[in-house]
Amino acid sequence: MAVDWGTIASLATAGGTLVLAVSTFASVRSANRAARVAERSLMVGLQPLLVPSRLQDPDQKVFWIDNKHVVLPGGSGIAEVEGESGTVYLAMSVRNAGNGIAVMRSWRVWPEQLTTQDRPDLDGFRRQTRDLYVAPADVGFWQAAFRDPEDPQRAGVVQAVKSRQAVTVDVLYGDYEGGQRLISRFLMQPRGDTGTWLVTVARHWNLDRPDPR
């Protein structure tokens, strides 16, 4: 019986090609997995995370565009209604516990203590009049104001501040490239009759990747 060397050679070539294809596929998968790990490590290195500053952290000088200014102690907040104008000034001392620069972009204030687990609707956020930056492992501040007498949310905030009730503040921020956005929910509670408010953080929501919960 004659041996069909041509057929055997073709089968051997096909087998070798298949082995090479499998090996190449495995290598590509491994490379892709390594690339994803490297990308994730890079993103973690850019991830900010805002929390209240410590009581022993240094004071922060906070200035508003209309020449209002306060000295903000560590771990504290300020909530004031200014005289006849009725302008509400709000500020919090914060610390960046993440590895990347935090850039605060917008905010929302609630004249009560919120306990809901749902992520706030982005449509209700107000843009910061200027970007506020906090370097990694450093302290900074958040600030905002209600100036428009016709603002539908202003009256509730004025009432809460004057009666010294808890105020909830949602801050939207991300890294310096505009990615890795988060919303951190802070609670400002009055600190006796000192005029300052203690700041705590209640929850963080990721906007650009699945929430870990």
Cβ atoms within 10 Å of 80's Cβ, excluding its own = 16
pTM for the model stands at: 0.78
**Cα–Cα distance between 130 and 105 in angstroms, integer?**
8
**Cα–Cα distance between 101 and 191 in angstroms, integer?**
30
pLDDT at 49: 96
Report CA-CA distances (Å) from 141 to 15, 20, 89, 94.
66, 58, 13, 5
Of 180, 176, 147, 194, nearest to 47 by C-alpha is 180
Taking only the tens of pLDDT, the chain with its 213 residues reads: 555 556 656 656 766 676 676 667 656 565 555 445 444 444 555 799 999 999 999 999 999 999 999 999 999 999 999 977 789 999 999 999 999 999 999 999 999 999 888 899 999 999 999 889 999 999 999 999 999 999 999 999 999 999 999 999 999 999 988 889 999 999 999 987 777 899 999 999 999 877 765
